[in-house]
């Protein structure tokens, strides 16, 4: 059997429980085809780069699959006709990734950053080594540094 990473995007107006039901439905298709789903990662509701069928956000879900290609093709066929699935992507891989994916690691890192004093954006050090904007010398039309008058 081959190994696959499969990601699908569900519409923004479906609930998390409905997304879980979709995952269970597609998992059953894989199992009926003689395969198994080794890992399921719901990445949550994320903004899309561009609108897809009038949706600006979507529920992202990753599935690691160990199944024959016929089972994966059947799952993709059912997703293509399902009205709640916006997009899908299946990639054949040499080996499945163990542990949390890069997206979940990023989310954990962002959550830890929010817990620090100063919040999410207050954790950068102040740039005292450069002058403030209003303290910088002005340039005249010729590009020379000066007060801007004739000398």
Q: Is the dihedral of CA 93, 111, 50, 87 positive or negative?
A: positive
What is the model's pLDDT at position 96? Answer: 83
From the number of C-beta atoms within 10 Å of its C-beta (0-12, 13-18, 19+), residue 130 rates as exposed
Per-residue pLDDT of the chain (151 residues; tens, 9 = 90+): 889 999 999 999 999 999 999 999 999 999 999 999 999 999 889 999 999 999 999 999 999 999 999 999 999 999 999 999 999 999 999 988 887 777 877 766 666 665 555 555 555 666 666 666 666 666 766 767 665 455 4
User: CA-to-CA distance for 79 and 6, rounded, in angstroms?
Assistant: 12
User: What pTM was computed for the model?
Assistant: 0.67
Delineate the domains of the chain, giving CATH numbers in brackets: 2-94 (3.30.70.60)
- pLDDT at residue 151, rounded to an integer: 47
Using only C-alpha atoms, the chain has a radius of gyration, in whole angstroms, of: 25
- What is the per-residue pLDDT for 37? 92
Q: What is the pLDDT of residue 98?
A: 81
């Amino acid at each position: 059997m081959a190994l696959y990473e499969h990601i699908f995007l569900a519409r923004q107006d479906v609930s998390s429980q409905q997304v879980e039901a979709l995952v269970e439905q597609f998992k059953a298709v894989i199992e009926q085809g003689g395969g198994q789903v080794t890992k399921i990662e719901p990445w949550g509701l994320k903004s899309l780069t561009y609108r897809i069928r009038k949706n600006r956000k979507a529920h992202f879900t990753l599935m690691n699959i160990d199944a024959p290609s016929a089972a994966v093709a059947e799952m993709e066929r059912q997703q293509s006709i399902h009205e709640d699935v916006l997009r899908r992507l299946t990639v054949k891989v040499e080996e499945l990734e163990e542990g949390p994916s890069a997206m979940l690691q990023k989310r954990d890192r962002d959550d830890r950053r929010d817990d620090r004093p100063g919040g999410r954006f207050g954790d950068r050090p102040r740039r005292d080594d450069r002058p403030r904007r209003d303290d910088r010398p002005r340039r005249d039309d010729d590009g020379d540094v000066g007060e801007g008058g004739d000398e």
